[in-house]
Amino acid sequence: MAVRHLISLDDLTDADLRSIVTRGAGFSSGRPAPERTLEGTVAGIYFRKTSTRTRTAFSSGALRLGAQIIAYNGGDLQTNTGESSQDTGRVFSRMLDTLVARTAGDPQELRAWAAAQDRMSVVNAMSADEHPTQALTDLTTLLRHFGRIEGLRVLYIGEGNNTAAALALGLTRFPGTELELRTPEGYGLAEDVRARALSLAAAHGSVISERHDMRDLPAGVDAVYTSRWQTTGTSKPDPDWRRVFAPFQVTEALWEASPGAVFLHDLPAHRGEEVTAGVLDGPRSIAFEQAGNKMYSAMAVLEWCRVGIVADAAGGAG
């Protein structure tokens, strides 16, 4: 089977996307029980930036599927002494079967590593513009909770960061879904992401919209989602940015119009900033189940990259 890479959700066909999400939800439910489908392979886990969930998810997931892992921090490699990124990628590809990398920078570096060889799968564990494995986790969580993704209505509140971008590029590929984003002025989705998401929505019969205020919020949504205001590895040029973000805090009052909604957060969370403690720790929050699903989603990604297992609608494999 040809080596597969996941740098962006754009790299996935609709069938691939559904397969990974369904496989992850199946793992989460215990059906099927994990097999050692990656026995005899070695995965590199390379994180230049901090990570709790994604690094642990891919490390634990790889081990559960039978792979061995080698972990690298940002200061471990000879790139710090002048070796080029290109040469580093060439070396990796001769020793590793899969490389899971968080650069928090330009994804073109990952694309260069993928394009230069046909031995090693490359997985983007978060770049500056997109967090594809987070979206796969989010979709897996929605499928596990609701039993479907089609037709769900999601309200996203906060910065149009790489998590929001991936959510927009993933959820819009499911018919009948509605994603409404409320982002602070100047901190919305990037123009290219918005254009791609609108195109996907038109092609798949879904809806995406974005506003920069908190007036007239939609009622009866299925999920309310937020992300931390200060994205990992970034800073904001405006010293007064917290004042701009303050109206976009997720509070208990949002559930008056959507009493059945669940709460999602990609974590880490800052209680009292983007979300109140009453919401994050309250009965509608499934944020920590969402975090746990990151491992199951990572397992599905690792399998898809190396062995191409395809999940059916019931969570099995064919």
314 in a domain, yes or no? no
Question: Is residue 196 domain-shared with residue 166, that is, in the same domain?
Answer: yes
Write down the residue that tokens 């918005």 correspond to: 194
- For residue 3, being part of any structural domain is answered with no
Q: Does pLDDT of 30 surpass 50?
A: yes
Identify whether 4 is part of a domain.
no
Residue 243 lies in a domain: yes
90 and 149 in one domain? Answer: no
**Structural domains in the chain (count):** 2
Residues 283, 167: one domain?
Answer: yes
Same domain, yes or no, for 147 and 184? Answer: yes
Does 175 score more than 50 pLDDT? yes
Say what the pLDDT of residue 232 is.
64
Count of C-beta atoms within a 10 Å radius of residue 125:
27
Residue tagged 């309310």 (tokens): 224
Give the Cα separation of 215 and 205 in Å (integer).
26
The predicted structure's pLDDT at residue 314: 41
Rounded distance, CA 257 to CA 261, Å? 9
User: Do residues 141 and 18 both lie within one domain?
Assistant: no
Q: Could you tell me if residue 87 is inside a domain?
A: yes
Tally Cβ neighbours within 10 Å of residue 11.
15
Give the residue, 287 or 1, on which the prediction is more confident: 287
Q: Choose among 181, 194, 275: nearest CA to 228.
A: 275
The answer to pTM > 0.85 is yes
Coil, helix or strand at residue 45 = strand
Q: What is the pLDDT of residue 310?
A: 56
For 178-219, the pLDDT digits (tens) are 999 999 999 999 999 999 999 999 999 999 999 999 999 999
Residues 161 and 58 in one domain: no
3-state secondary structure of 297: helix
Q: What is the pLDDT of residues 134-170, one digit of tens each?
A: 999 999 999 999 999 999 999 999 999 999 999 999 9
Same domain, 243 and 151: yes
Same domain, 180 and 284: yes
Q: What domain range includes position 101?
A: 9-129+295-306
Q: Are residues 273 and 300 in the same domain?
A: no
The domain that holds 61 is classified in CATH as 3.40.50.1370
pLDDT band at 316 (very low <50, low <70, confident <90, very high): very low
> In one letter, which amino acid is 254?
L
